[in-house]
């Protein structure tokens, strides 16, 4: 009986991986980038986001964009250049993905079933800012963990 009580108490104290959510309106800051969330938009930080794994899922007007960390620089069509970095578009399995790189060896890989090519993906890139230090220049949303 004592062991059962201890096990129940330990289970209530579990602090393992949890999803963290940011809800708009405001800026979701992802550690070097920011995405402007409108009312009803959200960003989720997924618990498996380590070492080249999915780190965040951003939902803008019902369209999901998955942000993968640790992406190595890859060839592709240069679609956006900014001081200290670039965004390259890649064709991938009949779809489109993007790699955001900076002066480090690893960047971000952006994937979405809704991506159709840079000109048609303005719904995302008009809200995303990958310039260096952007998360220091905008008011970042607070997170809710569950």
What is the pTM for the complete model shown?
A: 0.80
- Give the model's pLDDT for residue 3: 35
CA-based R_g, the chain, Å: 18
Distance CA(67)–CA(55), nearest Å, equals 6
The more confident residue out of 108 and 1 is: 108
**Domain boundaries, given as residue ranges, for the chain:** 19-134
pLDDT in tens, 16-67: 567 889 999 999 998 789 999 999 999 998 776 444 566 899 999 999 999 9
Residue 85 pLDDT > 60, yes or no?
yes
pLDDT at 7 over 70: no
């Amino acid at each position: 009986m004592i062991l059962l009580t201890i096990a129940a108490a330990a289970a209530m104290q579990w602090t393992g991986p949890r999803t963290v959510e940011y809800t708009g309106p405001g800026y979701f800051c992802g550690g070097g980038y920011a995405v402007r969330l409108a009312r009803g938009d959200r960003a989720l930080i997924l618990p498996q986001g380590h070492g080249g794994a999915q780190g965040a899922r951003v939902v803008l007007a019902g369209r999901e964009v998955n942000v993968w960390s640790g992406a190595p620089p890859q060839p592709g069509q240069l679609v956006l250049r900014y001081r200290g970095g670039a965004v390259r578009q890649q064709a991938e399995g009949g779809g489109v993905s993007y790699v955001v790189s900076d002066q480090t060896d690893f960047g971000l890989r952006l994937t979405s079933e809704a991506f159709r090519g840079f000109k048609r993906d303005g719904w995302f890139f008009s809200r995303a800012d990958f310039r260096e230090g952007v998360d220091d220049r905008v008011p970042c949303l607070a997170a809710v963990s569950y």
